[in-house]
Amino acid sequence: MKKNEKTPRRASQILRKQRTVRDLSSLYKLPALYIGRFQPFHLGHLDAVKQILRKEKSLIIAIGSAQYSRLPENPFSADEREKMIKAALKEAGISAQKYKILPVKNIEDYSKWPAHVDKTLPPYGTVYTGSKIVKNLYEKYGCHNVKNVKFNIKISATMVREKIKKGANWQKLVPSSVAKLIEKIGIEKV
């Protein structure tokens, strides 16, 4: 078989896969996906989860870079981040029946990252993100609908970490339950 004969066959396989996942998503109402590092989980993340759950029946919240902790950009472990998210959602009155929190280890090859996430997590439908990188990767991958999360609250986890390091008022940027957990874990770890 010649090289140029493989391309149409490969393209048709990709298109079939794209249609299948998208069709299954609407047919079976697969949970949506919201993935982030959540270092730490802040009010902007909470607002994003609320927005998504107004549109979707259920949600997988994937904790990215799950293998990293005690590093400047990743000070909290996946377990600590999961506790923060659960506490914040409980405080916000969001039923634990509406979401699952699952870890996803990072891989260094961006082009393979969406497929890695697919292999790591149970089936999911629409991907919600505020990250241009994640949006572009999933659009190139082509197997899921991708929607932007509108960040109504202009906070970043980097901003929270910087305020913690400077001893500035960071508590107002996170749900109170998350502030308590961070203080319990130890702000010196940030």
Residues 6+ apart with CB under 8 A from 122: 31, 60, 100, 102
All structural domains of the chain, each given as residue ranges with its CATH number in brackets, are 3-189 (3.40.50.620)
* Mean pLDDT score across all residues of the chain: 88
pLDDT tens column, 42-60: 999 999 999 999 999 999 9
pLDDT tens column, 107-129: 999 889 999 999 999 999 999 99
- Is the bond into 40 cis (omega within 30 degrees of 0)? yes
pLDDT tens column, 22-39: 555 555 689 999 999 999
Tell me if 144 sits within 8 A of 25, measured CB to CB: yes
pLDDT tens column, 125-148: 999 998 899 999 999 998 899 999
Residues 6+ apart with CB under 8 A from 63: 36, 37, 38, 78, 81, 82, 85, 101, 102, 103, 104
Query: Could you tell me what percent of the chain has a pLDDT over 70?
Result: 85
pLDDT on residue 130: 86
pLDDT on residue 112: 94
The pTM is what? 0.84
